[in-house]
Chains A and B, each alone.
Chain A
Amino acid sequence: MGSPQVVRVGNNTSARLILNTWPLVCAPAYHLVLEGILILWIIRLLFSKTYKLQERSDLTEKEKEDLIEEWQPEPLVPPMSKDHPSLNYDIVTGPPSHKIIVNGKECINFASFNFLGFLDNERVKQKALTSLRRYGVGTCGPRGFYGTFDVHLELEDRLAKFMKTEEAIIYSYGFATIASAIPAYSKRGDIVFVDEAACFSIQKGLQASRSFIKYFKHNDMEDLERLLKEQEIEDQRNPRKARVTRRFIIVEGLYINTADVCPLPDLVKLKYKYKVRIFLEESMSFGVLGEHGRGVTEHFGVNIDDIDLISANMENAVASIGGFCCGRSFVIDHQRLSGQGYCFSASLPPMLAAAAIEALNIMEEDPEIFAILREKCKHVHKALQESPGVKVIGEAYAPALHLQLERSSGSRDTDVKMLRSIVDYCLERQIALTLARYLDKEERFLPPPSIRVVVTIEQTEEDIEKAASCIREAALAILK
């Protein structure tokens, strides 16, 4: 690296420039790189914003001690009055089967979601006992660490075959099923269109996913289309972002809060028109709708491959514990590593899985039970129509109906008290009913207070007549 030689260049600017920069070019590479980095750093510092120092950083020790002395936190839990309505549970002694003993009185069960009567089924119990004698009760581990039993693999296989999908995955708790499935696919930045009447577990799954949530009015396809169109306009403004933003529609087959069915064919049309994926929650419709009990896809004759993910719990019609998701392997297999309730929780006890398999066996052998259940539902729906002061909410073939007050008193507490009196009246006369329970402060769209009336296949004509007349009397007596 010698000194620049003296050369006559005259007024040629470019040559002068070259000469002046010659030592720079001759310098070793690390030197250049270092200087380059320093220059960039200085530019960054010049342009970054300044921020104030925290004022609290110079509290003296004495002041800190005083603050610690003075601070009074709230009590861990707020005080509750002794006769808070949700504090006193109804106690069921003995099994919650068709004849149920509530608060010491034997009643006919119109409150447990035992739609197909599998809770008392001898075959199911025997299979569970065989499993108990072989495997014990618990699995002592999550699926990844020796918690996968052959019964789990068998149940997943059977569920996939029953629903005619490629694969199924089981969870050990019904609530955790959809609440773990949603955040596995939908992340921050993705968009989810949900029905307003979606159940609480869907809401928790959405909260865990941190996606953008857009609610559309219950079963209102025009409202949904409006939201989808708005999103389309948004997409055209920012196509690069739109290419990576996943979109989902989440609906239930039979809604637990309103007992009506989602318009699935219209949803599938919207799916292909706006390129949105559909997640279907079928806890209430699995084992209820459809000729073979396959749910709302069979009910409407929709191709099951058109639905990206079907999730259901096994705690209603199947009368066991747990839940499952089914669909194509492309979709379902992802949950085996990303579903939190699957990876980080112990697996389903084998006896409960064995009970579910036997329930599936019975459902496959005897598809008439679904038609019988639907008949009974129609019967109950009709019988409850004549009750004065209360109206029946729900489709005629829905097994879990709601009875709401025809005219609300204006205050939710008073309504709840009146409905509770009707329930107590019926309990006195040996009909077991229950209020539909919600967490008032946590629900996004709190449904109006109602009584749940559940139809099961074990209820006879007399039982239904007795219940209907009892409700009629209660309504007359209490709601005058």
Chain B
Amino acid sequence: TQQSFENPPMYVAVMTYLGFGIVTLFGYFRDFLRAVGLEKCHIAREREEQKDFVPLYQDFENFYTRNLYMRVRDNWNRPICSLPGPVFDVMERVSPDYNWTFSLTGKTIDNVINMGSYNYLGFAENDGDFLKTVADRTQQYGLGVCSTRQEMGNLAIHEELEQLVATFLGVESSMIFGMGFATNSMNIPALVGKGCLILSDELNHTSLILGARLSGATIWVFKHNNMQSLERLLREAVCSGQPRTHRPWRKVLIMVEGIYSMEGSVVRLPDIVALKKKYKAYLYLDEAHSIGAVGPTGRGVTELFGLDPSDIDVMMGTFTKSFGAAGGYIAGKKELVDSLRSHSHSAVYASAMSPPVTEQILRAMKCIMGLDGTTVGQARVHQLAENTRYFRSRLQEMGFIIYGNDDSPVVPILLYMPGKVVAFSRAMLKRKIGVVVVGFPATPITEARARFCLSAAHTKAMLDQVMYTCALLPTHVINIGLGVSMG
């Protein structure tokens, strides 16, 4: 499968830097006006009684927030008041003072096409029939658990879910946790520690980086999806050992993700597995976005590449995206999971998963596996693959610069300049399409982008509407480039 990452033309990079430069200068000017008193200062202030304390924030730390982010922050944190399905209702906000404060008007923008939520298989639904078992569990169990897994929070339904996840992935056993982010940050320290080496992809998620830092292991970063870079680091690690003492490393753990959510790229799994076998390293695969979303039956990147799940030492994933619930899991060999049952920070100190959420995952997973007696799950997996293929190929035909793998349901469209990104988001919302835009610092400074997340619940009509709305936007908002065909 193809992965493409076109580079922007030179003039775009220059214009972007210029743009940032101008806005920064303007920011300094505004700060000066605020300091002098010519401009009203909207920023929240420290208490009078604490004015002589060391300031909680340094001025320069918040420069970006004050002067750049504030002006455009209406494009994020948009509140909604309906199910996050293929269409949703966005609550209208107005700001009398250029985004320093918002107030809700009480009106909603109805039936906005949702291209932002991670609803890959369309399990974000409120159909009474589908959710009957979840409602029953809520009635029977209540909402919380009020205890940790090791104390009094280990419910029988948790164990049932763990067995189902293990069967789904084709591994020996699994363990579930109440939060996807915390699954990484609380379990990586239980697997590696001081004297171990972590080889982490450049674009790994914050939770992986936090987990790696909390573990105390040494972290080396290799270029995104670049096998030469990874091999060079592996050879260096095995041949040279730890820096200065040259003792051999206790363990080497390679951390990669299935689908990278900002790039839409898919990990080169066969190459990494070959490398890991050659150098006797361990592989930690974070399938937050890829579980359920890729692969002929939705089993993730291992299935996509036709690999044996036992080749991956630690399979991690979340239930937030393709299963419409919350939480995460780690799966693999029985020894691994047993070790986590006693050493995971989450098992000892954090709350167990809520029962209705557990039931939602159970029903969604049974649906995908076909255990509920229907083919609804498989139909959704196929529909998602269809939608992905269609959307990507049409956008490319139209001339947009798209990143990522042809199979990935995450579709970033490069817009490069920060101003365009903001205008794009506002223009799309006006035309009743909700998109996610990301800029610096979440992406490199010249690669601001809009990101579409496809869902099995999107109909062809919705996708067509999105594509044509994009194409018909005025060129000052989005410059598609040469060779636009609208056929």
Is B54 a contact partner of A246 (Cβ separation < 8 A)? yes
Is B84 a contact partner of A137 (Cβ separation < 8 A)? no
Interchain CA distance A344-B153 in the complex, whole Å: 26
Contact of A349 among B81, B82, B206, B325 (CB under 8 A): B325
A146 and B250 in contact, given A59-B239, A140-B324, A328-B44 (Cβ under 8 angstroms): no
The answer to the question of B166 belonging to the interface, with a C-beta cut-off of 8 Å to chain A, is no
Interchain CA distance A243-B343 in the complex, whole Å: 41
Q: For residue A54, which residue of chain B has the nearest CB?
A: B240
Is B251 a contact partner of A140 (Cβ separation < 8 A)? no
The answer to the question of B186 belonging to the interface, with a C-beta cut-off of 8 Å to chain A, is yes
The answer to the question of A230 belonging to the interface, with a C-beta cut-off of 8 Å to chain B, is no
Neighbouring A residues of B141 by C-beta, 8 Å: 94-96
The answer to the question of A87 belonging to the interface, with a C-beta cut-off of 8 Å to chain B, is yes
The answer to the question of B11 belonging to the interface, with a C-beta cut-off of 8 Å to chain A, is no
Is B147 a contact partner of A86 (Cβ separation < 8 A)? no
Output the least CB separation between B307 and chain A (Å): 18
Neighbouring B residues of A76 by C-beta, 8 Å: 191, 251, 282, 313-314, 335-336
Output the least CB separation between A321 and chain B (Å): 5
Interface stretch of the complex, out of A198-206, A217-225, A387-395, A472-480:
A198-206
Interchain CA distance A56-B125 in the complex, whole Å: 59
Is A138 a contact partner of B323 (Cβ separation < 8 A)? yes
Is A71 a contact partner of B280 (Cβ separation < 8 A)? yes
Neighbouring B residues of A79 by C-beta, 8 Å: 335
Interchain CA distance A355-B46 in the complex, whole Å: 34
Is B81 a contact partner of A344 (Cβ separation < 8 A)? no
Interface stretch of the complex, out of A16-24, A34-42, A121-129:
A121-129
Is B345 a contact partner of A439 (Cβ separation < 8 A)? yes
Is A351 a contact partner of B436 (Cβ separation < 8 A)? no
Interfacial residues of chain B within 206-226, with CB under 8 A of chain A in the complex: 206-207, 210, 213-214
Is B324 a contact partner of A137 (Cβ separation < 8 A)? yes
Interchain CA distance A309-B46 in the complex, whole Å: 13
Is A208 a contact partner of B213 (Cβ separation < 8 A)? yes
The answer to the question of A334 belonging to the interface, with a C-beta cut-off of 8 Å to chain B, is yes
Digitize B180-193: 1 where CB-to-A-CB distance is under 8 Å, 0 elsewhere: 11100110010100
Interfacial residues of chain A within 29-83, with CB under 8 A of chain B in the complex: 54, 56, 59, 63-64, 67-68, 71-80
Is B148 a contact partner of A437 (Cβ separation < 8 A)? yes
Is B126 a contact partner of A133 (Cβ separation < 8 A)? yes
A93 and B150 in contact, given A140-B118, A185-B56, A328-B44 (Cβ under 8 angstroms): no
Interfacial residues of chain A within 165-195, with CB under 8 A of chain B in the complex: 172-176, 179, 185
Output the least CB separation between A309 and chain B (Å): 10
A145 and B76 in contact, given A72-B280, A434-B151 (Cβ under 8 angstroms): yes
A340 and B143 in contact, given A76-B313, A275-B54 (Cβ under 8 angstroms): no
Output the least CB separation between A438 and chain B (Å): 7
Q: For residue B318, which residue of chain A has the nearest CB?
A: A346
The answer to the question of B8 belonging to the interface, with a C-beta cut-off of 8 Å to chain A, is no
The answer to the question of B80 belonging to the interface, with a C-beta cut-off of 8 Å to chain A, is yes
Is B239 a contact partner of A146 (Cβ separation < 8 A)? no
Is A90 a contact partner of B143 (Cβ separation < 8 A)? no
Neighbouring B residues of A207 by C-beta, 8 Å: 214
The answer to the question of B63 belonging to the interface, with a C-beta cut-off of 8 Å to chain A, is no
Is B56 a contact partner of A246 (Cβ separation < 8 A)? yes
Digitize B134-145: 1 where CB-to-A-CB distance is under 8 Å, 0 elsewhere: 110011111111
Output the least CB separation between A93 and chain B (Å): 4
Contact of B139 among A125, A276, A436 (CB under 8 A): A125
Contact of B54 among A121, A135, A244 (CB under 8 A): A244
Interface stretch of the complex, out of B28-36, B264-272, B354-362:
B354-362
Q: Please give the number of chain B residues whose Cβ is less than 8 angstroms from any Cβ of chain A in the complex.
A: 123
A137 and B147 in contact, given A93-B156, A132-B131, A272-B49 (Cβ under 8 angstroms): no
Output the least CB separation between B451 and chain A (Å): 9
The answer to the question of B242 belonging to the interface, with a C-beta cut-off of 8 Å to chain A, is no
Interface stretch of the complex, out of A109-117, A364-372, A401-409:
A109-117
The answer to the question of B98 belonging to the interface, with a C-beta cut-off of 8 Å to chain A, is no
Is B356 a contact partner of A337 (Cβ separation < 8 A)? no
Contact of A137 among B155, B321, B325 (CB under 8 A): B325
Q: For residue B130, which residue of chain A has the nearest CB?
A: A136
Is B154 a contact partner of A321 (Cβ separation < 8 A)? no
Is B345 a contact partner of A442 (Cβ separation < 8 A)? yes
Is A137 a contact partner of B76 (Cβ separation < 8 A)? no
Neighbouring A residues of B131 by C-beta, 8 Å: 132-133, 136-137
Is B360 a contact partner of A137 (Cβ separation < 8 A)? yes
Contact of A176 among B54, B65, B84, B179 (CB under 8 A): B179
Determine which residue in B54, B55, B126, B356 has the highest number of CB atoms from chain A within 10 A of its CB, and name it: B54
The answer to the question of B117 belonging to the interface, with a C-beta cut-off of 8 Å to chain A, is yes
The answer to the question of B348 belonging to the interface, with a C-beta cut-off of 8 Å to chain A, is yes
Neighbouring B residues of A437 by C-beta, 8 Å: 148, 150-151, 348-349
Is B339 a contact partner of A145 (Cβ separation < 8 A)? no
The answer to the question of A149 belonging to the interface, with a C-beta cut-off of 8 Å to chain B, is yes
The answer to the question of A258 belonging to the interface, with a C-beta cut-off of 8 Å to chain B, is no
The answer to the question of B52 belonging to the interface, with a C-beta cut-off of 8 Å to chain A, is yes
Q: For residue B151, which residue of chain A has the nearest CB?
A: A434
Is B138 a contact partner of A345 (Cβ separation < 8 A)? no
Is A136 a contact partner of B126 (Cβ separation < 8 A)? yes
Sampled A-B contacts (10; CB under 8 Å): A64-B235, A93-B156, A111-B147, A113-B146, A136-B83, A140-B321, A146-B90, A277-B56, A313-B351, A437-B349
